[in-house]
Amino acid sequence: MKGGALDERAIRVRRADAADLLDVLRILDGAMLETDADRVSERIEAGSVLVATVLEDGEVVGVPVGALVRDGDRVTAVATRRRHRDRGVGSALVRAALAGRDHLVAEFDPCVRPFYESLGFDIEAAGDGRLRGRLEG
């Protein structure tokens, strides 16, 4: 599946459950993000992991195509399966994570700065070559 951004109505975001753990780990690993299975499992139990699915031809794709892990107001990871990148899935996950919150913060590598800027994060240097962003709700 290639192409431009998906219609936001085609992206479904929900809280992850224990059955989603392996898919979340695969998504994060595919994006080369550090993952700790026990920590992700704890975040799922706490209701702090979101997954996104998409509609294709009116049908929900069976497996999550994106995941966001949060610890309080801090986004610790957000990633999308390669074939669904640049289609609005990550943006939908961040918007859902912000819902009902005053703000979100994230630390990230400079190569993903355009993603965070496009969402309206205020960005500054965090040290060690990384960046820190804050998004108001």
pLDDT for the residue 85: 86
- What are 9-50's pLDDT values in tens digits? 789 999 999 999 999 999 999 999 988 999 999 999 999 999
DSSP string, 58-127: TEE-SS-SEEEEEETTEEEEEEE-GGGTTTTHHHHHHHHHHTT-SEEEEEE-GGGHHHHHHTT-EEEEEE
Mean pLDDT of the chain: 91
Rounded to whole angstroms, the Cα distance separating 88 from 128 reads 29
C-alpha radius of gyration, the chain, whole number: 14
CA dihedral 94, 101, 10, 21 (to 10 degrees): 60
Under 8 Å between Cβ of 77 and 35: yes
Report how many domains make up the chain.
Answer: 1
CATH number, residue 46: 3.40.630.30
- What are 40-61's pLDDT values in tens digits? 999 999 999 999 998 776 565 6
Q: Can you name the residues that pair with 12 across neighbouring β-strands?
A: 53
What residue numbers bound the domain in which 35 lies?
8-101
pLDDT for the residue 28: 96
Residue 31 lies in a domain: yes
pLDDT for the residue 59: 60
Residue 124 lies in a domain: no
Under 8 Å between Cβ of 49 and 67: yes
pLDDT for the residue 57: 63
